Amino acid sequence: MHVNTSDTRTWPQRPEGFGPWPWLRGISFAYGLALDRPELVTLLRQSVERGVTFFDTAEVYGPYDNEDLLGEALEPFTGRVVIATKFGFQLKADGSPGWDGLNSRPDHIRAVSGVG
């Protein structure tokens, strides 16, 4: 299989990735599949063992549930995988999934990304 590399990245980029939000959020309507946390951890680890190195999520899905689960599941693969998360949302004040608007102010981006 061809693996892409880039001078701006330090990891090999394979053509496939994993956007696991339907399972991680317990949404089984599209796939007819409902997994508990240990099964999800196993699924994610098996995906790495089969060559997946890129995982995509977003703070708005949980909020933060996906990142927590991905962090737990993929910790043994630190340095071998990439987790991308999208941000810039004004999350609902009650902590439920979804958002009330967008928030791309620099102070908000620094707060959610841990940069700065």
Active-site residue numbers?
A: 61
- φ and ψ at 102, to 5 degrees? -110, 150
Q: Residue 70, class by beta-carbon neighbours within 10 Å (0-12 exposed, 13-18 middle, 19+ buried)?
A: buried
Query: What is the rounded distance in angstroms from the CA atom of residue 45 to the CA atom of residue 41?
Result: 6
